[in-house]
Amino acid sequence: MVGTLVGMELSFIRSLYDVPGPWASVYLDTTHDTESARGAIKIRWKDLRASLRHDIDDRTLHALDAEVIDDRTLRVLEGAEFEQRRHPGRHGLAMFAAQGEMRYAEVMDEPFRSDLAEVSPLPHLTPLVIQRGEQIPWIRVAVNRVGADIESPTNDTIQVQGTHLYPIRKTHGGGWSQEHLQRKAELRWQQNAKEVAEQVSRFADSVGAELVIVAGDVRARRLLIDQLPERWRERVVEVEAGSRAPGADPIGVERATMEAVANVVAQRRTAVLDRFLARGGEYGVAGVAAVVAAFDRSQVGTLMLDPDGVAKTRLWVGLDLPHIALSEDDLLQLGARRIEYVRAEDALIRAAAMTDA
């Protein structure tokens, strides 16, 4: 199956498959950018909730309520004031609940294509997986000649201040003393850059960074990059935007960061697809039946999934086994006792997560 590439690591959803269904999967536009947004969210959620009511137990419904609204205002369904949770602006909320508990919820930066609520034997994760995209661990360093601010996507931030502060500026004038002070300033910059590079390396290791975005002062950027260990220099993307100065506009560096991450994702996807097209006969298979057989042999390293292409296809899943099959008999022969007939995309995503593909 080649089409929309789901090129991402799936360990964040694996634990969901340890919980028996039925599963309530909900995608809700929770944009909160106007005064009327609260009422609109309330109406949309009540409509979605009504569609779930006959197929899921009350405890699971209440778990969903608590995620949509402030969990002290479950009375919303009885007419109490609606309280939106702490996410202003445009966003969407994905929720997956089963057995009376919220099992996973994630706020997305953009609303989903449409609101959706359904009950099924497996969580319906395709819209989340597509919109979430591949998560590239990165750190961003805004550097000047005395230190740096280092941050990760989870907003973990550290400030590094170099210990070599005088002389830090080159002097103007002439003579031997001016040249001496200029050399000393250059040396201080290099010493500070070395100290910053050590902290950057440690921080990058701690978050498993695959990308190091370096912003800020032009000269300081180059000094820092030269001091980084080779394994990190290979992952550096240098951007022109960004500054440590108080009140600096963050928009430019945020945009540059998004572009850098998107470029890495695009390069990876292109490389996977090129490898498949060039060597597919030897290292890849296409088509639902062939992919199911490859999963049965535990031979799937990367799944390329086109949800539209398999939209009308269903597969058999052994909920007590990590197996999928084209027929119920295949699973019975493997010893499966809890068998369901589900949409192919849900079955394939589950198989990928369960086999570390």
Domains contained in the chain, number: 3
Residue 314 confidence class, pLDDT cut points 50, 70, 90: very high
Is 131 domain-assigned? no
Is 13 domain-assigned? no
C-beta separation of 44 from 38 below 8 A: no
Range of the domain at 38: 22-120
- Among the three residues 231, 265, 299, which one is the final residue of a domain in this structure? 265
Q: How many residues does the chain have?
A: 357
Is 333 domain-assigned? yes
- pLDDT over threshold 70, residue 85: no
d(CA 126, CA 176): 69
The CA-CA-CA angle for residues 268, 271, 274, to 5°, reads: 150
- pLDDT over threshold 80, residue 231: yes
Residue 119 confidence class, pLDDT cut points 50, 70, 90: very high
C-beta separation of 72 from 62 below 8 A: no
Judgement on whether residues 146 and 231 belong to the same structural domain of the protein: yes
Judgement on whether residues 113 and 187 belong to the same structural domain of the protein: no
Structure token digits, residue 27: 């995608």
Is 56 domain-assigned? yes
**Which pTM does this prediction carry?**
0.70
Please give the mean pLDDT across all residues of the chain: 81
State the CATH number of the domain containing residue 170: 3.30.420.60
pLDDT value, residue 111: 84
Is 185 domain-assigned? yes
Helix axis angle for 58-68 and 37-52, nearest 10°, is 160
- Among the three residues 61, 94, 120, which one is the final residue of a domain in this structure? 120
Tell me: the pLDDT tens digits for 280-313? 666 778 889 999 999 988 888 888 888 888 888 9
Judgement on whether residues 99 and 164 belong to the same structural domain of the protein: no
Is 76 domain-assigned? yes
pLDDT value, residue 247: 64
Residue 316 confidence class, pLDDT cut points 50, 70, 90: very high
C-beta separation of 2 from 306 below 8 A: yes
Judgement on whether residues 256 and 315 belong to the same structural domain of the protein: no
Is 2 domain-assigned? no
d(CA 287, CA 310): 9
pLDDT value, residue 60: 95
- pLDDT over threshold 70, residue 173: no
